[in-house]
Amino acid sequence: MAGRDFLQIPGPTNIPERVLRAMDRAMIDHRGPKFRDLLRGLLPRLQKLFVTERGTPVLFSGTGTAGLEAALANTLSPGDRVLVYVIGYFSQVYARMAEKMGLDVERVDLPWGEGISGEDVEARLKADKGQRIKAVLAIHNETSTGVMTDLPQVRAALDRAKHPALLVVDSISGLGCLDLRFDEWGVDVAITGSQKGLMLPPGLAVLCVSDKGLRASQTAKMPRYYFDWSAMIEQNRKGLFPYTPATSLLFGLDEGLNMLFEEGLDRVFARHARLAEGLRRAVQAWKLSLVAKRRELASDTVSAIGVPQGFDADKIIDLAASHFHVALGSGLGPLQGRAFRVGHLGALNAVEVLAIVGAVEMVLSSLNIPVELGRGVAAAQSWFLSRNGDGPV
């Protein structure tokens, strides 16, 4: 194939050349001085990424799911009550994981496309008179529906209810793309995976833990060995890992962080918001609708786009892949066949979004979904031009 493939699933995302080059290195001794320097360079910059001074970053080899499991295993004991909001496929997986791990799950199922409301969190925590709920599990960005959570609202709800539950946040498709202020928002454990905003291959779970989260782990009785973060934190202080680290991914992480900080986190977030809006303008021009029920819920990292009744969204994905070298995300769970997803996170710019919009437009038109060629592209172009003052896109 001439040219390049467009990987527009919501993770893994495109890996920038710089990160690829950084990983293309021979192994080093993970008990030697080079590794120590690498790790000691990474940990403070991870704090900067989570916008924390007091939080402790923890790295496990494993995907995001491993990080989610580690968060529960370290902070809770079997039988502990947790409040879980299920707003789509990934939050459902987290609720199921919690159940399987023997937690007592207060599960709040909302229609897919809805978001978590601070008022509801507050009401449930106030109703928990005995303060049995030990943790609130909230998803920062539900990747299956393209819905973002207003985390400061969730924090404010915990505060208003004067409830001591831990706030555990799945930010797997958020961190490095969406604002997340660990200290300011009183997050106790935040979790991400390497293959999204960090622009790396999959395989690294990155967590940040508050002092309160660390204290909880001293009494938490959930069985754990590999995921015991106390061993990890203790060894990290000496510049070591308790077992063999995924060294190549750490080389890549070093360069990924360089790129994020060179651009500046605020600019990274603004870029994601701008690109997402360009795509949303195109969706509007196609007269299609997002799965996200309201504009303020719509994610800046992934858009789940519904198709008109009678059309099969999977055909869009197949044709985009076979004819246009564009990989789109499928609808997950009940959204399969009813929606397709476009990832717009990580290393991405406006011209790439235009290419994707142009390709989707051709696919929709080929499948007789009534869109006028060029409408979506023009809508996105106009939006990007209107934001020219923001600087290069």
- Three-state DSSP string of 213-268: HHHHHHHCCCCCCCCCHHHHHHHHHCCCCCCCCCHHHHHHHHHHHHHHHHHCHHHH
Residue with tokens 């709800």: 157
Among residues 56 and 144, whose Cβ is nearest to ligand PLP? 144
Minimum Å gap between C-beta 173 and ligand PLP is 4
Q: What is the DSSP string of 186-213?
A: T-SEEEEETTSTT---S-EEEEEE-HHH
User: Which range binds ligand PLP by CB under 6 A, 57-65, 107-115, 335-343, 356-364?
Assistant: 57-65
Nearest to 288 by CA among 279, 296, 301: 279
Among residues 202 and 242, whose Cβ is nearest to ligand PLP? 202
Minimum Å gap between C-beta 130 and ligand PLP is 30
Alpha carbons 204 and 194: distance in angstroms, whole number: 5
Minimum Å gap between C-beta 319 and ligand PLP is 23
Minimum Å gap between C-beta 19 and ligand PLP is 17
Return the residue of 47, 143, 217, 247 that touches ligand PLP, per CB under 6 A. Answer: 143
Minimum Å gap between C-beta 137 and ligand PLP is 11
Among residues 98 and 214, whose Cβ is nearest to ligand PLP? 98
Residue 65 in the binding site for ligand PLP (CB under 6 A): yes
Total residues at the site for ligand PLP (CB under 6 A)? 12
Alpha carbons 277 and 388: distance in angstroms, whole number: 14
Q: What is the DSSP string of 293-344?
A: SSGGGB-SSEEEEE--TT--HHHHHHHHHHHH-EEEEEP-GGGTTTEEEEE-
Which residue has the CB atom at the shortest distance from ligand PLP? 64
Residue 173 in the binding site for ligand PLP (CB under 6 A): yes
Minimum Å gap between C-beta 193 and ligand PLP is 4
Return the residue of 18, 63, 212, 321 that touches ligand PLP, per CB under 6 A. Answer: 63
Minimum Å gap between C-beta 299 and ligand PLP is 10
Residue 64 in the binding site for ligand PLP (CB under 6 A): yes
What are residue 352's DSSP bridge partners?
A: none
Nearest to 271 by CA among 195, 351, 201: 351
Return the residue of 113, 115, 193, 343 that touches ligand PLP, per CB under 6 A. Answer: 193
Tokens of 62: 């494993």
Among residues 178 and 216, whose Cβ is nearest to ligand PLP? 178
CB 320 within 8 A of CB 342: no
Minimum Å gap between C-beta 94 and ligand PLP is 7
If one counts every other C-beta atom within 10 angstroms of the C-beta of residue 367, the result is 16
Residue 246 in the binding site for ligand PLP (CB under 6 A): no
Alpha carbons 130 and 338: distance in angstroms, whole number: 43
Residues at the site binding ligand PLP, with contacts judged by CB under 6 A: 11, 63-65, 90, 139, 143, 170, 172-173, 193, 202
